[in-house]
Amino acid sequence: MTTPTTFQGVFPAITTPFNADGSVDHGFLREHARWMMDSGNAGMIPLGSLGEGNTLDFHEKTAILETLVDALGDAPVIPGIASLSTHGAVQLAQAARDLGCRGLMVLPPYVYTSDWREMKAHVSAVIAATELPVILYNNPVAYRTDFLAPQVAELAAEHANLRGVKESSGDSRRVTALRAALPESVDILVGLDDMALEGVAAGATGWVAGLVNAYPAESVKLFELARAGDWAAARELYTWFLPLLRLDTVNKFVQLIKFVQEEVGHGSARVRAPRLELTAEEQAMVRDLLRAAQA
């Protein structure tokens, strides 16, 4: 089994599609992942925040990974690894390896958060559970654990398979701090859609994207323009895209992005409780944004 040596490019945080009865729609999942890969994405990240991973049970998660590994062939599937317990996260990481995933995105534990000593022990156990290359996911707003650049550097010095950081604090200065603290072998990935250009300008080499689920070609083009240093063209595309990209950074980002998918004909707005589908007023707001974009 080969593994990616870098985490560079656009990696969709793929949404989890549901059937009308609430079960996972594996047929659409397969089709959707292939459609996004055809637009030039670098790999697929299921089971994350956008993938509603915390509403899926263990067997649903492994079934999703089986579907994606089979659907994508040589393209890397890099699942989000999160659990209420360290044991549960280790178990999921090892199952992902055994199913053929080629990397992991490791999150802090759900619900419980604490000091650096405990959070380091948790993520270290998960990173060390397999030989797969790992992206550490830093999202202090959502998970109330903040991995600072010196702490990430400490982890990288102790774990050779820590090869990326998804930075979702919303502060572009974090990207420059991470780039200064980490070896070049550790890639930095932007984790918020409306910071894509700023992140690349600060040194990010990857983007874990959300609106890519509805606009894969545009997302890849934006990232490629930025990496190539074509800032005029990148800013023009970014200006057009930003009203939609900002949907990724609010509390109902899952519902909003899934609704955009449905509106553009590439998915369903169905979500799992406790999330509910958007109200009529919220739907109208999104349709206004889409009309403006299409104009």
Residues whose CB is less than 8 angstroms from the CB of residue 162 and which lie 6 or more positions away in sequence, other chains included: 127, 133, 134, 136, 152, 155, 156, 186
Q: Is 213 helix (H, G, I), strand (E, B) or coil?
A: helix
CA 114 → CA 48, 120, 147, distances in Å? 21, 10, 12
Q: Is 76 helix (H, G, I), strand (E, B) or coil?
A: coil
Q: Are strands 187-190 and 206-209 parallel, antiparallel or unpaired?
A: parallel
Was 208 annotated as part of a binding site?
Answer: yes
Strands (E), the chain: 9-12, 80-81, 104-106, 134-138, 162-167, 187-190, 206-209
* Contact status, residue 270 vs residue 17, Cβ threshold 8 Å: yes
DSSP annotation of 14 reads -
Distance CA 18, CA 25 (A): 5
* Contact status, residue 141 vs residue 165, Cβ threshold 8 Å: no
Query: Which residue among the candidates 110, 120, 143, 166 is catalytic per the annotation?
Result: 166
Query: Which residue among the candidates 137, 143, 215, 238 is catalytic per the annotation?
Result: 137
Nearest C-alpha neighbor of 58 from the set 95, 30, 86: 95
* Contact status, residue 137 vs residue 101, Cβ threshold 8 Å: no
Residues whose CB is less than 8 angstroms from the CB of residue 59 and which lie 6 or more positions away in sequence, other chains included: none
* Contact status, residue 167 vs residue 138, Cβ threshold 8 Å: yes
Is residue 166 among the annotated active site residues?
A: yes
Is residue 137 among the annotated active site residues?
A: yes
Catalytic residue positions, numbered: 137, 166
Q: Indicate the annotated binding residues for pyruvate.
A: 208
Q: Indicate the annotated binding residues.
A: 208
